[in-house]
């Protein structure tokens, strides 16, 4: 059992990156504290004191004295994989640190996910899913049209990237695959169900991801989630 407390709203994408990572690592989290962002609990003083950014997820790892406080889902996932993952490079969720090309290809797609994919997918899913259903807001249709055009360009590049490799950073699963998953889930299931049509390599990657226990555990097996 780890000494980690994870502060999360398990229904939203950024914490879901970590829930997938934790499951893939087989890591036992001491405590998962739910912070309901639809009730703005992440803006309460006691949460802001722990994470002044007022967002989830963040962790407290009491392995250290003083405890390590860490924000940013991607940084936390990488930390967990480094600190608690397998030391065997082939089983780890990180690239082999002794292979400079593998590390470079990993860093490349880490950057693509953050700057190209997330920058469209995050806003599109917010506008079309969370804004109307959680915050009673109105979807900005014009904005979504532009976001969809940008997203299509990114997924075309991802489809090409996956032509001769199984996963985003090469032939093994790494944390960067998990970074894509929550928004891809909402796109494929709800917001943009035709996104994978005519993109066979991305589609095959998605089949690989959705057949994993970590995905099924978080999102269920049903196509209705």
Ligand X SMILES: N[C@@H](CCC(=O)N[C@@H](CS)C(=O)NCC(=O)O)C(=O)O
Q: Which residues bind ligand X (CB under 6 A)?
A: 12-14, 37, 42, 54-57, 72-74
Nearer to ligand X, 73 or 159 (CB): 73
Nearer to ligand X, 21 or 199 (CB): 21
Nearer to ligand X, 68 or 204 (CB): 68
Min separation Cβ 46 and ligand X, Å: 15
Identify which of 163, 154, 159 has the alpha carbon closest to the alpha carbon of residue 202: 159
Min separation Cβ 58 and ligand X, Å: 8
Min separation Cβ 101 and ligand X, Å: 27
Task: Compute the distance between CA of residue 14 and CA of residue 17 in angstroms, rounded to an integer.
Answer: 5
Nearer to ligand X, 56 or 93 (CB): 56
Task: Compute the distance between CA of residue 102 and CA of residue 96 in angstroms, rounded to an integer.
Answer: 7
Min separation Cβ 36 and ligand X, Å: 11
Min separation Cβ 59 and ligand X, Å: 11
Nearer to ligand X, 55 or 155 (CB): 55
Nearer to ligand X, 2 or 73 (CB): 73
Min separation Cβ 14 and ligand X, Å: 3
Min separation Cβ 95 and ligand X, Å: 20
Nearer to ligand X, 4 or 37 (CB): 37
Per residue, what are the HEC states of the chain? Answer: CCCEEEEECCCCHHHHHHHHHHHHHCCCCCEEEECCHHHCHHHCHHHHHHCCCCCCCEEEECCCCCCEEEECHHHHHHHHHHHHCCCCCCCCCCCCCCCHHHHHHHHHHHHHHHHHHHHHHHHHHHHHHHHHHHHCCCCCHHHHHHHHHHHHHHHHHHHHHHHHCCECCECCCCHHHHHHHHHHHHHHHHHCCCCCCCCHHHHHHHHHHHCCHHHHHHHCCCCCC
Is the separation of the CB atoms in 51 and 123 below 8 Å? no
């Amino acid at each position: 059992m780890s000494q980690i407390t994870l502060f999360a709203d398990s229904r939203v994408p950024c914490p879901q990156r970590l829930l997938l990572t934790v499951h893939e690592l087989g890591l036992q989290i001491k405590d998962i504290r739910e912070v309901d962002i639809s009730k703005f609990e992440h803006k309460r003083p006691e949460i802001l004191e722990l994470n002044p950014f007022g967002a989830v997820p963040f962790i407290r790892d009491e392995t250290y004295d003083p405890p390590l406080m860490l924000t940013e889902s991607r940084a936390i996932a990488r930390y967990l994989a480094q600190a608690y993952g397998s030391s065997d490079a082939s089983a780890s969720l990180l690239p082999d640190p002794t292979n400079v090309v593998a590390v470079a290809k990993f860093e490349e797609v880490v950057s693509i996910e953050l700057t190209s994919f997330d920058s469209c997918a995050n806003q599109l899913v917010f506008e079309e899913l969370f804004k109307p259903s959680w915050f009673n807001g109105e979807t900005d249709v014009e904005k979504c049209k532009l976001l969809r055009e940008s997203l299509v360009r990114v997924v075309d590049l991802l489809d090409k990237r996956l032509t001769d490799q199984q996963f985003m950073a090469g032939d093994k699963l790494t944390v960067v695959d998990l970074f894509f998953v929550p928004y891809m889930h909402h796109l494929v299931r709800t917001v943009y169900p035709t996104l994978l049509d005519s993109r066979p390599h991305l589609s095959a990657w998605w089949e690989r991801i959705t057949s994993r226990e970590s995905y099924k555990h978080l999102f269920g097996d049903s196509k209705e989630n």
